[in-house]
Structure 1
Amino acid sequence: MKELFRSNDMVLISYLEHRLREENIETLILDSHMSIMEGSLGVLPRRMMVAEEDLVRAKVILDEVRQTHGLDI
């Protein structure tokens, strides 16, 4: 697995996960349970991982999401 991006914006993570799933790209979200350790403040970013063979396609989708929604991620 390779890291696609990291963020503490759960809405963005959910949306991107949905977009990738539409393209049959499976994701793995790491560090989502760290909020227990940090006191549920949402400070620690979650990492979105994809299979190495899907990384190039996933980056294209990430760029589309960035451009479409004017995001700086």
Structure 2
Amino acid sequence: MLEIIRTNDIVILSLAQSLMKDAGIHFMVADQSMSVLEGSLGLLARRLMVDSERADEARRILKDAGLEAELRP
């Protein structure tokens, strides 16, 4: 799995998850439990991970949705 987004913004993360679900791309949100532990400080970002075989497709979908600035290099 490859990290394609790292963010503290739950709205962006929710949108990205929805887009991946609609496209049938398997994904995982990493560090979600750690974010809960640190409370509402927003210090620890959550990471959206996708299957490496479909990472290019996932990046294209997120870029088309206007989330290009959120993509990891």
Q: In which range does the TM-score fall when normalised by the shorter chain?
A: 0.7 to 0.9
C-alpha RMSD of the superposition: 1.6
**Retained in 1: the 8 A contact 2:7–2:45?**
yes
The AA in structure 1 aligned to 2:55 is L
Equivalent residue, structure 2, for 1:72: 69
- 1:39 CA drift (Å): 3.0
Partner of 1:34: 34
TM-score (norm 1): 0.83
Residue of structure 1 equivalent to 2:61: 61
Percent sequence identity over aligned pairs: 36
TM-score (norm 2): 0.83
Residue deviations 1:33-65 (CA, integer Å, cap 9, x gap): 112432332221100000010100000011112
Q: Helix, strand or coil for the counterpart of 2:44?
A: coil
Cα distance in structure 2, aligned partners of 1:34 and 1:51: 22
Unpaired stretches in structure 2, ≥5 consecutive residues: none
Q: Does 1:17 align with 2:17?
A: yes
Cα drift, residue 31 of structure 1: 0.4
Q: Over alpha carbons, which structure has the higher Rg? A: 1
* Number of positions where the alignment pairs a residue of Structure 1 with one of Structure 2: 70
**Greater Cα shift, 6-15 or 38-47:** 38-47
Distance change (3 Å), C-alpha of 1:19 and 1:34: same
Query: Which ranges of 4 or more aligned residues in structure 1 deviate by more than 4 Å?
Result: none
